Amino acid sequence: MLKRIIFTLLLLLRLINPAFAEVNIVATLPWIGSIVREIGGDKVNITVLVKPNQDPHYIEAKPSMILEASKADMLIYNGLDLEVGYLPLIINSSRNYRIQAGRKENLDCSQYIDAIERPQRDVDRSMGDIHPFGNPHYHLSPENIRKVADGIADTLSELDSAHAEFYRKNLISFYERLDDKQKQWGSKSLKDKKFIAYHKYFEYLASEFGFQIIGYIEQKPGIPPSAGHIERLIETIKNSRPDALITTGYYGKRGVEFLSQKTGIRGVVIPHDVGADDIKDWFTLMDRVLESLE
């Protein structure tokens, strides 16, 4: 008798599998949330795990993140090991078969981009916080974002085929807006500018907009600089007179301020993600980033 009751209960539970009105999407970073919003519009419900002013390298897997992941129809993330400290744990603990690796609902945006700085030789942690699959900070690259948006639209159309046309249409208007913006951004005179950066954060931007990063305050990624390195850097800055010392909101501000005082070169804190400083979407983020570099 008891067996029969349990079996019936389990069958019933199986039947209550609600078809979703909106696709429930969990995105790791704010900029991903912004692109998904452009494509998904009101057909998706987006939860972003990382706060705009947080350092994306040092995130702890909070139980509330696991809860969000457990309810997700789809998980969209940056990839290239940027989320390696917390995302595997969230995926495992979520008990959500939909977002497990290898499924379409587990969307690694980096699969659509051309990663730069892929190490050409063996790397290990003596070189600092090395990303073995290439530089993961590709979100400040319009060309790569174009491909990511296409990938997101493709996947959404496939998973939620009832609204495929809607997603395609949104992708086209996203492209139209991007084309306009790229014309505007292209007119910025960043070519031939030289910068010293705190972290390897602006490489995609530099290669697309033609400026140069001639040195780093961090000697090795993720490792605070030594006094000797700073001394040498002061010499470099004095000799090569870069246009600015640049860093992001989450760290390096003090280092940049210090060097700026020592050398008289201006320090610039560049917003690094959507949501910080009232930046409402990815386009505004790009506007502000490029403005602050001018």
Partner 1 sequence: MKLYFFILFVLLFSFPAYGEDVKSVSSGRLRLIDISMDALFSGGWSTVNDNTLQNIQGGGHDPRKRGFTVQNVELSLTGAVDPYLKGEAHIVYFNDPLTGETRTELEEVFITTLSLPYGLQLEAGHFFTEFGRINPRHPHQWHWQDQPVINTRFFGPDGMRGPGFRLGWLMPLPWFSELHIGIQNANGETMASFLASEEFFDERPIGNRPFVKQEVKALKDLVHLIKMDNSLDLAEDITAKIGISGLYGPNATGGNGQTIIYGADLVLKWRPAEQVRGWPFLILESEIMKRDYKSATYLYGSDPENVIDLQEETLKDWGFYAQILYGFMPRWAAGLRYEYATGSGESIDGRNNDPFRDDRSRISPLLTWMLTEFSRVRIQYNYDHADHLPDEEAHSVWLGIEFMYGVHPAHSF
Q: How many CB atoms lie within 10 A of CB 49?
A: 26
Q: For residue 20, state whether it binds partner 1 (rule: CB under 8 A).
A: no
- In 3D space, the residue among 264, 293, 138, 111 whose CA is nearest the CA of residue 203 turns out to be 138
Pattern of binders to partner 1 over 82-121, x per CB under 8 A? --xxx-xx--xxxx-x--xxxxx---x-xx---x------
Q: For residue 45, state whether it binds partner 1 (rule: CB under 8 A).
A: no
* Minimum gap (Å) between residue 86 Cβ and partner 1: 5
Sign of CA dihedral 247, 116, 32, 180: positive
- Cβ nearer to partner 1, comparing 103 with 241: 103
Q: Which of 5, 13, 21, 227 binds partner 1 (CB under 8 A)?
A: 13
Record the tokens describing residue 55, joined without a space: 């350092």
Cβ(57)–Cβ(82) below 8 Å = yes
Record the tokens describing residue 230, joined without a space: 């700073």
- Cβ nearer to partner 1, comparing 13 with 19: 13
Q: Which of 24, 45, 47, 53 binds partner 1 (CB under 8 A)?
A: 53
Distances (CA, A) of 186 to 174, 182, 208, 285, 291: 18, 6, 9, 16, 12
* Minimum gap (Å) between residue 224 Cβ and partner 1: 7
- In 3D space, the residue among 195, 218, 183 whose CA is nearest the CA of residue 293 turns out to be 195
Q: Which residues fall within 8 angstroms of residue 209, CB to CB, at 6 or more apart? A: 185, 188, 190, 191, 290, 293
Q: In degrees rounded to 5, what are phi and psi of residue 45?
A: -120, 115
Q: For residue 227, state whether it binds partner 1 (rule: CB under 8 A).
A: no
Q: Which of 59, 197, 237, 244 binds partner 1 (CB under 8 A)?
A: 59
- Cβ nearer to partner 1, comparing 53 with 212: 53
* Minimum gap (Å) between residue 73 Cβ and partner 1: 14
Of 4-12, 161-169, 240-248, 281-289, the segment contacting partner 1 by CB under 8 A is 4-12
Q: Which of 39, 49, 61, 76 binds partner 1 (CB under 8 A)?
A: 61
**DSSP output for 147-204:** HHHHHHHHHHHHHTGGGHHHHHHHHHHHHHHHHHHHHHHHTS--TT-EEEESSS-SHH
Q: For residue 161, state whether it binds partner 1 (rule: CB under 8 A).
A: no
Sheet with 23-27: list strands edge to edge: 44-48, 23-27, 74-77, 106-108
Q: For residue 64, state whether it binds partner 1 (rule: CB under 8 A).
A: yes
Q: How many CA atoms lie within 13 A of 142 on its CB side?
A: 23
Q: How many residues bind partner 1 (CB under 8 A)?
A: 51
Pattern of binders to partner 1 over 122-151, x per CB under 8 A? ---x-------x------------------
Q: For residue 249, state whether it binds partner 1 (rule: CB under 8 A).
A: yes
Instruction: Return residues touching partner 1 (CB under 8 A).
Output: 2-3, 6-7, 10, 13-14, 51-55, 57-64, 66-67, 70, 81, 84-86, 88-89, 92-95, 97, 100-104, 108, 110-111, 115, 125, 133, 222-224, 249-251
